[in-house]
Amino acid sequence: MEKTIAVVGAGLIGRAWAMVFARAGWRVRLTDHAASQLDAARAFMAASLEEQAAFGLTADPADALSRIDCVPDLEAAVAKAAWVQENLPETEAVKREVFAALDRCAAPDAVLASSTSAIPASRFTEGLPGRARCLVAHPVNPPLLVPIVELCGPPWTAPAAIARALAVYAEVGQVPIVVRRELDGFILNRLQGALLSEAMRLVGEGYVSPDDLDKTIRDGLGLRWAFLGPFATIELNAPGGVVDYCARYSDFFRRLAADPPRPDVWEGVNAARVGEALGPLLSQDEREARTRWRDRRLMALIAHKRQQPDFK
Ligand SMILES: NC(=O)c1ccc[n+]([C@@H]2O[C@H](COP(=O)([O-])OP(=O)(O)OC[C@H]3O[C@@H](n4cnc5c(N)ncnc54)[C@H](O)[C@@H]3O)[C@@H](O)[C@H]2O)c1
């Protein structure tokens, strides 16, 4: 039987989720309170699915698009959906209000997932009768090309809801991981934050130019990280694996950890330095062209990764 998802919010993230599920054969009901957003999403999805087909990421773009219905009314969109993915603006009040509505309207066995980047679900689901079926499923932009999804529930989320989420996101081609306890920034943004704070310090203290710092990731660490996580990377960097690596190199990492970047690395002067090095602010057209270029490169990389068996 065809499965149905309600995707709530048709902005950047909602329209990407709609494509992820439609590509995988789900029926999608995409809803937004702004009719203009639904129109813009439909045009964007039509073009994006065609482009994805050119990279072999979806077999039949017209068929995928035909599975997506734009439904202006939230209640109608959510009724009978087996899964709900919420993608409204990132404020606690908005999340609290929409989750109360979703819990009232959704079928009793539907799971309610939020794409929130940083608001733990305990802050907007505590008082709901159906709070056991609520969780965060945090994607990375754009989820149709970057498959990681961080699953994180408050203490009252039913283990069965997390288990279903693991199965559903894997089935539609994503890579779900479980964040075992709620914490600020989940996992991905804590890792990104650690790297960016150090990058701001290195640039701020004049050790390296912003451009050379970008090269260090793009043509250095990032190349391996497309295939191996940081632990799997260091496993290969010493003959005796991770334990040997730590024995050889941890003195340096200990010194570094004892002297972390301070919050003031985020103050305007460093941001201005990086901004200046990146050149004049892109026009809207240039920004869109650069985003499309990024997405095409990601499509090629994802297509390549899908053809490679994992090394086990
Ligand atoms: N943009 C990112 O990089 C990114 C990455 C991961 C997670 N997220 C999270 O995803 C969520 C959505 O972010 P986005 O970037 O797609 O935002 P966005 O501003 O692009 O989209 C939000 C959409 O919600 C609609 N909306 C607002 N209030 C509404 C309401 N009451 N009812 C129906 N529709 C309503 C708006 O019209 C808009 O289309 C946020 O929680 C954000 O933190 C964003």
User: What integer best gives the mean pLDDT of the chain?
Assistant: 96
- Pocket lining: 87 vs ligand 1, CB cutoff 6 Å: yes
In the reported structure, the alpha carbon of residue 88 is separated from the centroid of ligand 1 by a whole-number distance in angstroms of: 4
- Pocket lining: 119 vs ligand 1, CB cutoff 6 Å: no
Q: Is the pLDDT of residue 129 over 90?
A: yes
Longest dimension (CA), the chain: 60
In the reported structure, the alpha carbon of residue 91 is separated from the centroid of ligand 1 by a whole-number distance in angstroms of: 10
- Pocket lining: 5 vs ligand 1, CB cutoff 6 Å: no
Predicted pLDDT of residue 309:
78
Instruction: State the average pLDDT over residues 263-267.
Output: 94
Separation between Cα atoms, residue 309 and residue 296, nearest integer Å: 22
> Probe ligand 1: pick from 12, 146, 186, max atoms within 8 Å of CB?
12
Nearest CA to ligand 1 atom 41: 116
Nearest CA to ligand 1 atom 25: 9
- Pocket lining: 34 vs ligand 1, CB cutoff 6 Å: yes
Q: What distance lies between CA 212 and its chain's CA centroid?
A: 27
13-45 pLDDT, tens digit per residue, is 999 999 999 999 999 999 999 999 999 999 999
Contact 85, 112 (CB under 8 A): no
In the reported structure, the alpha carbon of residue 10 is separated from the centroid of ligand 1 by a whole-number distance in angstroms of: 7
Instruction: State the average pLDDT over residues 1-12.
Output: 92
- Pocket lining: 85 vs ligand 1, CB cutoff 6 Å: no
Ligand 1 atom showing the smallest separation from residue 15 Cα:
16
Radius of gyration of the chain (CA): 21
Share of the chain above pLDDT 70, in %: 99
Query: What confidence category does residue 312 fall into, taking pLDDT thresholds of 50, 70 and 90?
Result: low
Q: What distance lies between CA 196 and its chain's CA centroid?
A: 17
Q: Is the pLDDT of residue 1 over 90?
A: no
- Pocket lining: 72 vs ligand 1, CB cutoff 6 Å: no
At 171 the three-state DSSP class reads helix
Share of the chain above pLDDT 90, in %: 96
Instruction: State the average pLDDT over residues 143-154.
Output: 96
At 134 the three-state DSSP class reads strand
- Whose CA is closest to 45, among 27, 26, 23? 23
CA 47, 50, 52, 57 dihedral sign is positive
159-206 pLDDT, tens digit per residue, is 999 999 999 999 999 999 999 999 999 999 999 999 999 999 999 999
Contact 195, 221 (CB under 8 A): no
**Amino acid at position 90, single letter:** E
How far apart, in Å, are the Cα atoms of 96 and each of 29, 81, 137, 181, 211? 21, 20, 16, 20, 41
Q: Where are the alpha helices (DSSP H) in the chain?
A: 12-23, 35-54, 61-66, 74-78, 92-105, 122-125, 159-171, 188-204, 210-216, 222-225, 230-235, 241-258, 268-278, 284-307
Predicted pLDDT of residue 308:
84
Separation between Cα atoms, residue 147 and residue 67, nearest integer Å: 21
Instruction: State the average pLDDT over residues 143-163.
Output: 97
Find tokens 């200990």 and name the residue: 254
Query: What confidence category does residue 293 fall into, taking pLDDT thresholds of 50, 70 and 90?
Result: very high
Nearest CA to ligand 1 atom 37: 34
Predicted pLDDT of residue 211:
96
> Probe ligand 1: pick from 95, 115, 119, 124, max atoms within 8 Å of CB?
115
DSSP character string of 94-113: HHHHHHHHHHHHS-TT-EEE
Ligand 1 atom showing the smallest separation from residue 118 Cα:
43
In the reported structure, the alpha carbon of residue 76 is separated from the centroid of ligand 1 by a whole-number distance in angstroms of: 20
Separation between Cα atoms, residue 266 and residue 201, nearest integer Å: 9
Q: Is the pLDDT of residue 121 over 70?
A: yes
Pairing of strands 148-152, 134-139: antiparallel
Helix (H) or strand (E) holding 68: strand 68-70
